[in-house]
Amino acid sequence: MAAPKKLALVIGSGSVKCAAALGIQRVLERADIKLDMLVGCSGGSLYAALLALGYPTEKIAEMSSSLWTHDLTARPNRRALLQAILPGIVKFDERFSLRDDRKVNQRLEEVYGQHSFEEAKIPLYITATDFMTGEMVVLEKGPLLPAVRASMAIPLIFPAVKSEGRMLVDGYLADPLPVGVAIREGADIILAIGFEATNQSRLSSLGRYAFQFTSVMSNNLLKANFAFHNLAHHSEVLLVVPEFEERVRLFDTEKIPYIIQVGEREMEKQLPYLQQLLAA
Partner 1 sequence: MEKSFELSGKIGIIVVKGSVDALTAPHLATFISEQIAAGHTRLVADLAGVDYTSSAGLRVLLGAVKETRALGGDLRLANIQPDVKKVLDLSGFTSILKHYADRDSAIGSYGG
Q: Interface residues with partner 1 (CB under 8 A)?
A: 194, 196, 222-224, 226-227, 229-231, 235-239, 241, 243, 269, 273, 276-277, 280
Nearer to partner 1, 100 or 264 (CB): 264
Task: Enumerate long-range contacts of 60-66, CB under 8 Å, 24 or more apart.
Answer: 60/22, 61/19, 61/22, 61/256, 61/257, 61/260, 63/111, 64/16, 64/19, 64/253, 64/256, 65/253, 65/254, 65/256, 66/107
100 is catalytic: no
Strand partners, 166: 163
Q: At 77, is the secondary structure helix, strand, or coil?
A: coil
The secondary structure of residue 4, as a DSSP letter, is P
Catalytic residue among 36, 170, 175, 188: 170
The reply to whether 42 belongs to the active site is yes
Give the span between the Cα atoms of 192 and 110, in whole angstroms: 28
- CA angle centred on 148, ends 147 and 152, rounded to 5°: 115
**Closest distance of CB 220 from partner 1, Å:** 9
List, as one string, the DSSP characters of 176-199. Answer: SS-HHHHHHTT-SEEEEE--PPPP
Nearest residue (CB) to partner 1, 216 versus 224: 224
| Residue number, 90 or 232, with CB nearest to partner 1 | 232
Q: Which residue, 140 or 196, is less far from partner 1 as judged by CB?
A: 196
Rank residues 206 and 224 by Cβ distance to partner 1 and give the closer one.
Answer: 224
DSSP state of 6: P
Q: Is 60 helix (H, G, I), strand (E, B) or coil?
A: helix
Q: Considering 42, 97, 218, 235, which one is annotated as catalytic?
A: 42
In DSSP terms, which residues pair with 130 in a beta bridge? 168
| Nearest Cα residue to 250 out of 12, 11, 17 | 17
Least Å from the CB of residue 9 to partner 1 = 15
Catalytic machinery residues? 42, 170
